[in-house]
């Protein structure tokens, strides 16, 4: 299968290298090879040149020289007529075959992409392919004189280092050389070596463990090139053992003077030392070489063998298990970006995800501390889901406040239970909202800086988020020097932004430049995001159906909720119908591939036309232009069901130009052999995401079915249109009578105060206060891991967390019956006793009693309860919280709940007073509520009515003028304008006079 490749420097020097081709010993060709090539050449000349020449000489022009008349159709059909008709058919067949030859020659010489499919060609293109391959069988020997071309398919101009070299210096070496699938078997081995090895195989002898063996990389056979993966597959029985071969030969000087520095970069004629258990007819054993091997090759092997111990430091101890060879030395193949030793923060900025992941593995069994690790270990996905869930819940609150849904006004959404509760806790533990924020700011800042310099956005294949928070963008090709504060990475194809520089970015009004980035997995402490819309073709994912489902669900969920995208369309086929509640505006589900092909054909035509009309060559140039906010949003297709052969060809044709149009395809396949696949990945049952030809071996990011259902349940429960009868009561009711005085009373609404406890001494006091506030806001209980991630977002060890819990337990003390006020429920969650109460609990309970309890049947009780509730409001929640703490409040919706609750209390108390024509009391209640909910339109409208009830028109005019001034350029809301027209028809002129 053809893939796009780029050349690369193999040297370690940062400067340009000498690319002069070095002649290598050629592989000997047999007489049969030359005979096949000769006949192929003759056949091509005859078919391409001889056929049209013969037709022109013997038949001439077969068509009429002028426009035929009606009489021409009535003439007698002669032999000449038949000859001319057949001539036209032959001319058409010749044109089709010639097109096939040109397509195959172009693909063979360039090594880029699959050969284009000539419509209706069928056997003609197959014949052309065989003839071209036979001809190039001999020509490949000459190609070996130019390693950059023969190995990579094409080279970059000048002395630029290519994408491949850069890729191997980052985690995963993502875009290393992408080897092509062989259309024929690997080139025949050197005859003498083959005969020698075959004789040993026939006699039943096996290589002894520890024997030194060598393999000489073969010249390309047609369009097939050797790769370490295929060599390991043939001679070690497992392609994944390619790392052993790499480690044995890394940085050793080859016969042409170059060195093996990237596992995906090997050249014809190079010699490779093999593990002792290698087998096969292409190997040469040392020191007893096959006697018929040329002296030149023997000398090269001898010279190469001498460099082993010196270069490898004892690396000649070969063989054994692949695990042993590929363990600690894997970092030689995958170069992680060097951490900057600039500050202490670099060591502590590992992020909560890694620390918490380590902590998760050490949880002991005393309680059910386990959480869905798939969500805990996916910080960007968890942050996106948590942010989208919060927005969904706020929308439900606001709609309920406006009366869209009855019975939920001012109250909390339903408290999740069971697997949904575990999923929510896992999101809270795993989420990295700060990382998402910095990623979004960095990408938009880069786009704005490039636009200011009138430079286009470079094509980005992937992004790596390193452990210390640095961001590395991997470009498709060098794009010059990046704008400050971005820097060049270890190669021209890498742009890097340090976390400290990203933190200085501010919001900019520009479109998201790379919305198609999505997390695939992690390697060590670095996380890979692949840009699906930039792939030059289809990304295929092989593996079992259940394993693929976890990857597809994770990709879909993150694309639907991530924080670094504006708008996009995500089409799901073959899965994901139940995922649409995550983002109904982004996700859509199609029933079958036929509907997908029809949809994408229309979409592709539309986007090509739009780009042409706008004068853009790709969506990237459009995103930095004047129309950046109105078009060029990506369309990403996730096809989990394996397409048929015909459908696969159609998708391949659509995907050929997809990267330019902002369309990406991720397609599942059982076999891994998918036409048009530019990048191939495999998901294993152990959760590893493999792409050996890309140099990837990641811990895959998955969303298994059980966690998928739990997450969807959270979103369904928070649906603004979903009516719930259980949400009308607060989750924790307290006794608001004199007998219900609590033992510990915390005031959270306004400045934070605690009554009933002594203030802890020392520096631990703020931490204990914050832990208590978190528990008071979650009366249903707090998972210990949620508590630790909230208080220590960068991670903490279990012993430190447990010590804090014990201090908190000692501080709160026990109830009179000896029961600790800080307990643990059956699920291991930390819970507070009923004797520990906050003013927020009291506020909710008073409002509930006034509107749904005792106050319903007693006007006097209702008025007293509402008045007592409003007195509790002293300002915003935790008004004096120290800077840098309580960051977990960003995950909460209490900032939306509290103003709505206070507004509901103020409105209810205002209505209570207006029933008795006490307008001044109503105004006093409304003004008190506005102190905590200044943006609630309902309070302002009710204040207008109460002021109108006083009969003071001047006071009403001043209030109207104040409202207009507050509204600014946006103007008054329509309902407020309509109310003013009713209460004060001359308000517009009056406001102008007051102004």
Whole-number pLDDT of residue 3: 38
Measured in whole angstroms, the distance separating CA 948 from the mean position of its chain's CA atoms is 56
- Asked if the model's pLDDT at residue 692 lies above 90, the reply is no
- Report the 10 Å Cβ neighbour count for 978: 12
CA atoms within 13 A on the CB side of 206: 3
Q: Look up tokens 């990048």; give the residue.
A: 679
Query: For 985, left (φ over 0), alpha (ψ -120 to 50), or beta?
Result: alpha
- Look over the chain and give the mean of its residue pLDDT values, rounded to a whole number: 76
| Cβ-based neighbours of 837, under 8 Å, separated by 6 or more | 734, 742, 744, 745, 746
pLDDT band at 353 (very low <50, low <70, confident <90, very high): very low
* Measured distance CA(824)–CA(622) in Å, rounded: 56
| Phi and psi angles of residue 542, each rounded to the nearest 5 degrees, phi first | -105, 170
Residue 170 CA neighbour count, 13 Å, CB half: 33
Q: Are 927 and 943 in contact (CB under 8 A)?
A: yes
- Beta-carbon contacts of 404 under 8 Å, excluding residues fewer than 6 positions away, are 720
Segment holding 526, helix H or strand E: strand 526-531
Q: What is the predicted pLDDT for the residue at 746?
A: 94
pLDDT score of 837: 94
Closest to 464 measured CA to CA, from 481, 482, 434, 442: 442
pLDDT (0 to 100) of residue 836:
94
Contacts of 482 (CB under 8 A, 6+ apart): 446, 488, 495
- Six-digit token string for 547: 């394993």
CA distance 433 to 450: 26
pLDDT of residue 12: 36
Given a cut of 50, whether residue 171 has pLDDT beyond it is: no
Number of neighbouring beta carbons within 10 Å of residue 194: 16
Contacts of 508 (CB under 8 A, 6+ apart): 444, 445, 447, 448
Cα-based angle 620, 382, 468 (whole degrees, multiple of 5) = 75
pLDDT tens for each residue of 912-954: 999 999 999 999 999 999 988 888 888 999 999 999 999 888 8
Q: Which residue has the higher pLDDT, 990 or 431?
A: 431
Share of the chain above pLDDT 70, in %: 74
Q: Is 202 helix (H, G, I), strand (E, B) or coil?
A: helix
Instruction: State the CB neighbour count (10 A cutoff) for residue 742.
Output: 18
**CA nearest neighbour of 409 among 712, 720, 774:** 720
Q: pLDDT exceeding 90 applies to what percent of the chain?
A: 31
Note the pLDDT tens digit of each residue in 380-395: 999 999 999 998 888 8
CA distance 78 to 68: 17
What pLDDT, on the 0 to 100 scale, is given for residue 204?
A: 38
Tokens of 528: 């890979």
Please count the other Cβ atoms lying within 10 Å of the Cβ belonging to residue 766.
14
Say which residue, 167 or 545, is predicted with more confidence: 545
Q: Alpha carbon 820 to chain centroid distance?
A: 45
DSSP H/E element including 937: helix 937-949
pLDDT value of position 675:
78
Residue 561 has pLDDT above 90, yes or no: yes
Give the pLDDT band (50/70/90) at residue 688: very high
Q: How confident is the model at residue 403 (pLDDT cuts 50, 70, 90)?
A: low
CA angle 258, 263, 266 (to 5 degrees): 45
Instruction: Check pLDDT > 50 for residue 187.
Output: no
Instruction: Tell me the backbone φ, ψ of residue 990, rounded to 5 degrees.
Output: -70, -40
Give the pair of three-digit tokens for residue 768.
Answer: 């204990």
Burial pattern 314-336, b for ≥16 Cβ within 10 A else e, equals ebeebbeebeebbeeeeeebbbb
DSSP letter for 456, please: P
Tell which wins on pLDDT, 296 or 288: 296
User: CA 263, CA 250: separation in Å to the nearest integer?
Assistant: 8
CA distances 84 to 55, 64, 81, Å, are 10, 10, 5
In this structure, of 118-122, 123-127, 241-245, 591-595, the range with the lowest mean pLDDT score is 118-122
Please tell me the distance from the alpha carbon of residue 603 to that of residue 363, in angstroms, as a whole number.
Answer: 50
- Decide: 36 and 137 in contact? Cβ < 8 Å: yes
Does position 10 have pLDDT exceeding 50, yes or no?
no
Distance between CA atoms of residues 248 and 250, nearest Å: 6
Whole-angstrom Cα distance, residue 438 to residue 928? Answer: 38
Tell me, what's the pLDDT at 153? 30
Q: How far is CA 767 from CA 433, 806, 808, in A?
A: 21, 13, 9
Q: Among the ranges 33-47, 613-627, 797-811, which has the highest mean pLDDT value?
A: 797-811
**Number of other CB atoms surrounding residue 994 within 10 Å:** 15
Please give the pLDDT value at position 926: 94
User: pLDDT tens for residues 121-148?
Assistant: 677 777 887 787 777 655 543 333 222 2
Q: Classify burial at 444, counting beta carbons within 10 Å of its beta carbon; exposed 0-12, middle 13-18, buried 19 or more.
A: buried
Q: Are 325 and 243 in contact (CB under 8 A)?
A: yes
pLDDT top residue among 726 and 110: 110
Q: Which residues of 909-919 are buried (b: 16+ CB within 10 A; e: fewer)?
A: bbebbbeeebb
The SS3 call for residue 885 is coil
Residue 521: predicted pLDDT: 93
Rounded to an integer, what distance in angstroms lies between the CA atom of residue 713 and that of residue 372? 15
Q: Residue 659 — very low, low, confident or very high, per pLDDT cuts 50/70/90? A: confident
User: Is pLDDT of 208 > 60?
Assistant: no
Pairing of strands 587-590, 569-573: parallel
Cα 43–chain centre separation:
50
| pLDDT at res. 830 | 95
**pLDDT tens profile 838-874:** 999 999 999 988 988 888 889 999 999 999 999 999 8
Render pLDDT for 532-545 as a digit per residue (tens, 0 to 9).
988 888 999 999 99
Angle (deg, nearest 10), helices 433-452 and 379-401: 90
The secondary structure of 155-189 as a DSSP string is --STT---HHHHHTTSTT-TT---PPPPSSPPPPP
| Chain Cα centroid distance, residue 535 | 13
**What is this structure's pTM?**
0.66
**For residue 612, what are its two tokens?**
């042409």
For 731-743, write each residue's pLDDT tens digit: 788 888 777 789 9
Helices (H), 562-718: 593-614, 619-623, 645-655, 658-661, 705-717
DSSP letter for each residue of 744-809: EEEE-BSS-EEESSPPPPSTTHHHHHHHHHHHHT-TT-B-HHHHHHHH-TT---HHHHHHHHHHHH
Mean pLDDT within 81-102: 83
On the question of pLDDT at 678 being above 80, the answer is yes
HEC string of 544-584? CHHHHHHHHHHHHHHHHHCCCCCCCEEEEECCCHHHHHHCC
Assess whether pLDDT exceeds 70 at residue 463: yes
């Amino acid at each position: 299968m053809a893939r796009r490749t780029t050349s690369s420097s193999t040297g370690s020097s940062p400067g340009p290298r000498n690319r002069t081709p070095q002649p290598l010993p050629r592989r000997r060709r047999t007489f049969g090879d030359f005979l096949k090539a000769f006949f192929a050449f003759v056949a091509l000349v005859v078919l391409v040149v001889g056929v049209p020449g013969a037709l022109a000489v013997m038949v001439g022009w077969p068509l009429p020289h002028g426009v035929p008349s009606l009489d021409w159709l009535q003439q007698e059909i002669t032999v000449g007529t038949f000859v001319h008709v057949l001539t036209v058919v032959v001319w058409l067949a010749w044109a089709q075959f010639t097109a096939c030859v040109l397509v195959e020659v172009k693909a063979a010489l360039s090594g880029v992409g699959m050969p284009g499919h000539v419509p209706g060609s069928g056997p003609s293109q197959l014949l052309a392919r065989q003839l071209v391959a036979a001809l190039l069988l001999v020509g490949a020997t000459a190609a070996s004189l130019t390693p950059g071309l023969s190995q990579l398919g094409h080279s970059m101009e000048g002395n630029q280092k290519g994408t491949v070299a850069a890729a191997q210096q980052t985690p995963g070496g993502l875009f290393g050389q992408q080897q092509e699938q062989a259309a024929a078997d690997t080139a025949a081995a050197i005859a003498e070596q083959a005969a020698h090895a075959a004789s040993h195989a026939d006699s039943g002898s096996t290589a002894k463990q520890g024997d030194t063996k060598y393999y000489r990389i073969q010249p390309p056979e047609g369009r097939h090139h050797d790769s370490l993966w295929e060599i390991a597959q043939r001679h070690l029985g497992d392609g994944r053992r390619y790392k052993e071969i790499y480690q044995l030969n890394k940085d050793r000087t080859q016969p042409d003077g170059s060195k093996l520095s990237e596992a995906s970069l090997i050249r014809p004629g190079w010699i490779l030392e093999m593990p002792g258990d290698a087998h096969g007819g292409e190997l040469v054993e040392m020191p007893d070489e096959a006697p018929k091997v040329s002296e030149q090759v023997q000398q090269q092997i001898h010279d190469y063998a001498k460099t082993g111990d010196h270069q490898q430091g004892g690396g000649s101890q070969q063989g054994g298990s692949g695990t042993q060879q590929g363990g600690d030395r894997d970092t030689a193949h995958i170069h992680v970006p060097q951490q900057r030793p600039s500050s202490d923060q670099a060591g502590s900025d590992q992020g909560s995800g890694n620390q918490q992941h380590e902590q998760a593995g050490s949880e002991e069994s005393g309680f059910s501390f386990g959480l869905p690790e798939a969500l805990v270990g996916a910080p960007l996905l968890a942050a996106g889901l948590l942010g989208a869930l919060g927005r969904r819940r706020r929308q439900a609150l606001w709609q309920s406040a406006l009366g869209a849904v009855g019975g939920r006004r001012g109250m909390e959404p339903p408290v999740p239970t069971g697997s949904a509760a575990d999923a929510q806790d896992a999101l809270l533990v795993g989420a990295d909202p700060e990382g998402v924020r910095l990623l979004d700011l960095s990408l938009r800042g880069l786009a704005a800086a490039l636009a200011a310099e009138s430079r286009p956005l470079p094509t980005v294949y992937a992004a790596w988020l390193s452990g210390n928070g640095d961001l590395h963008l991997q470009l498709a090709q060098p794009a010059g020097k990046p704008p400050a504060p971005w820097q060049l990475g270890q190669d021209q194809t890498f742009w890097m932004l340090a976390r400290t520089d990203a933190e200085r970015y501010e919001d900019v009004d520009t479109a998201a430049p790379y919305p198609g980035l999505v997390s695939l997995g992690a390697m060590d402490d670095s996380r890979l995001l692949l840009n699906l819309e930039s792939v030059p073709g289809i990304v295929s994912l092989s593996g079992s159906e259940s394993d693929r489902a976890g990857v597809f669900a994770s990709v879909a969920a993150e694309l639907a909720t991530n924080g670094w995208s504006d708008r996009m369309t995500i089409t799901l086929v073959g899965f994901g119908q139940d995922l649409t509640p995550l983002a109904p505006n982004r996700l859509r589900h199609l029933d079958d591939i036929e509907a997908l092909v029809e949809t994408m054909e229309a979409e592709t035509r539309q986007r090509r036309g739009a780009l042409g009309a706008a004068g853009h060559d790709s969506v990237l140039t459009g995103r930095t232009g004047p129309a950046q906010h109105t078009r060029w949003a990506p369309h990403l297709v996730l096809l989990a069901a394996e397409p048929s052969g015909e459908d696969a060809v159609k998708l391949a044709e659509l995907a050929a130009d997809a990267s330019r149009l902002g369309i990406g395809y991720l397609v599942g396949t059982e076999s891994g052999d998918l036409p048009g696949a530019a990048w191939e990945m495999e998901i294993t049952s152990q959760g590893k995401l493999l792409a050996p030809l890309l140099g990837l071996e990641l811990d895959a990011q998955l969303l298994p079915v059980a966690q998928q259902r739990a997450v969807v349940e959270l979103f369904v429960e928070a649906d603004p249109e979903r009516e719930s009868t259980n949400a009308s009561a607060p989750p924790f009711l307290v006794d608001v009578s004199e007998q219900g005085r609590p033992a510990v009373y915390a005031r959270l609404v306004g400045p934070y105060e605690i009554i009933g406890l002594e203030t802890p001494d020392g520096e631990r006091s703020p931490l204990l206060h914050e832990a208590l506030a978190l528990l008071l806001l979650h009366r249903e209980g707090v998972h210990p891991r949620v508590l630790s991630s909230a208080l220590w977002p960068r991670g903490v060890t279990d012993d430190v967390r447990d010590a804090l819990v014990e201090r908190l337990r000692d501080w709160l003390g026990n109830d009179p019956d000896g029961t600790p006020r800080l307990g643990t429920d059956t699920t291991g969650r930390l819970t507070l006793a009923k004797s520990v109460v906050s003013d927020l609990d009291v506020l909710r309970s008073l409002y509930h009693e006034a509107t749904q309890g005792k106050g319903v049947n007693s006007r006097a009780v209702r008025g007293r309860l509402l008045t007592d509730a409003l007195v509790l409001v002293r300002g915003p929640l935790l008004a004096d919280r120290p800077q840098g703490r309580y960051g977990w409040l960003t995950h909460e919706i209490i900032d939306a709940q509290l103003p709505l609750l206070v507004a509901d209390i103020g409105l209810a108390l205002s209505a209570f007073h207006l029933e008795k024509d006490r307008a001044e009391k109503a105004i006093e209640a409304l003004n008190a509520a506005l102190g905590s909910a200044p943006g609630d339109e309902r309070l302002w409208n009710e204040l207008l009515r109460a002021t109108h009830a006083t009969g003071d028109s001047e006071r009403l005019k001043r209030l109207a003028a104040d409202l207009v001034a507050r509204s600014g350029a946006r103007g008054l809301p329509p309902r407020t304008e309509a109310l003013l027209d009713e209460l004060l028809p001359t308000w517009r002129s009056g406001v102008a006079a007051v102004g």
